[in-house]
């Protein structure tokens, strides 16, 4: 039996450049994947509002996973039937994996008072302040602030105190993830669990086995990379490759979207050009 490829990708620092948020170096590869009907599925810390806009900009119409695995958004009608466990919200079928953002804000304000001077939460950022921290344009920063399931924190203390904070919040039931810039607090969900759930939905639709190909650059991608059939670590200009339990991973030579295009081309697209007995089917849906 052939297996259908599904590409699950982190966004910031992976498909988008860490510094200027451009995906220009990946455009040709994205177009090649679209021509072959290979889904590009964002699996990101970004919000629904950010991703809905970004999907239009990039030119993809696949489902996407938002806020570090907290929720999956599937365009209504994308699959032949509504997946079990989802509900309709606007133009999407939605699958939730954790409690809403307010739960975590309440936990921080009520239970983590001793750490309150050592971080700045997204909920307290103005658009201008977030622009200064991230170099996002104001319109993009405004979208980034509209969160539903998690709260990113800009840590101001030292590493020892950060680990104490992580341990403390974890004991209270929070799930803590360190991204490229922010420490994220959310529920017992992660990018790997959400990826596996959505991969099963695709397999049912295709009536075929699927191969999950995951790309990410930072620690909050680890669960996705660990769970993937093929794990691709994208080089970062700001930190080393995170250490994974998975022994075999592909590591890009280039950073960000250059590395993304490099690895997708080597791993997947060149296989479609070679006349080999490839177990991964690259045909259309």
Active site residue 221: no
- What is the Cα–Cα distance from 14 to 267, expressed in whole angstroms? 16
- Please give the backbone phi and psi of residue 280, each rounded to the nearest 5 degrees, phi first: -95, 125
- Contact between residue 150 and residue 119 where contact means Cβ atoms under 8 Å apart: no
Q: Is 207 left (phi over 0), alpha (psi -120 to 50) or beta?
A: left
Question: What is d(CA 65, CA 99) in angstroms, rounded to the nearest whole number?
Answer: 15
Instruction: In whole angstroms, give the CA distance from residue 27 to residue 58.
Output: 8
Q: How far apart are CA 58 and CA 68, in angstroms?
A: 20
Q: How many CA atoms lie within 13 A of 26 on its CB side?
A: 29
Residue of 10, 12, 17, 190 marked active site: 10
- CA angle in degrees (0–180, nearest 5) for 166-172-176: 35
CB contact burial 53-63 (16+ within 10 A = b; e otherwise): ebbeebebebb
Q: Which residue has the tokens 């979207």?
A: 257
Residues with catalytic roles: 10
């Amino acid at each position: 039996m052939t297996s259908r490829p599904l590409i699950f990708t982190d966004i910031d620092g992976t498909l988008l450049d860490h510094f200027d948020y451009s995906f220009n170096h990946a455009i040709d590869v994205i177009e090649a994947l679209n021509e072959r009907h290979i889904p590009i599925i964002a699996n990101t810390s970004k919000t629904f509002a950010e991703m809905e806009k970004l999907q239009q900009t990039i030119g993809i119409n696949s489902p996407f996973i938002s806020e570090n695995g907290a929720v999956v958004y599937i365009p209504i009608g994308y699959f032949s039937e509504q997946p079990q466990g989802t509900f309709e919200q606007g133009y999407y079928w939605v699958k939730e994996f954790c409690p809403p953002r307010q739960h975590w804000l309440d936990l921080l304000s009520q239970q983590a008072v001793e750490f309150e001077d050592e971080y700045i939460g997204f909920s307290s950022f103005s658009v201008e302040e977030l622009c200064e921290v991230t170099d996002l344009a104001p319109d993009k920063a405004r979208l980034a602030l509209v969160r539903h399931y998690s709260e990113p924190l800009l840590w101001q203390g030292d590493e020892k105190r950060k680990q104490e904070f992580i341990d403390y919040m974890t004991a209270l039931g929070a799930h803590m993830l360190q991204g490229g810039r922010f420490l994220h607090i959310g529920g017992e969900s992660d990018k790997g669990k959400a990826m596996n759930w959505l991969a099963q939905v695709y397999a049912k639709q295709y009536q075929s086995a699927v191969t999950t190909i995951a790309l990410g650059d930072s620690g909050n991608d680890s669960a996705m990379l660990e769970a993937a059939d093929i794990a691709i670590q994208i080089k970062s200009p700001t930190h080393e490759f995170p250490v994974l339990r998975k022994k075999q991973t592909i590591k890009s030579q280039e950073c960000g979207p250059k590395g993304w295009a490099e690895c997708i081309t080597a791993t997947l697209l060149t296989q479609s050009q070679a006349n080999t007995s490839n177990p991964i089917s690259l045909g259309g849906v």
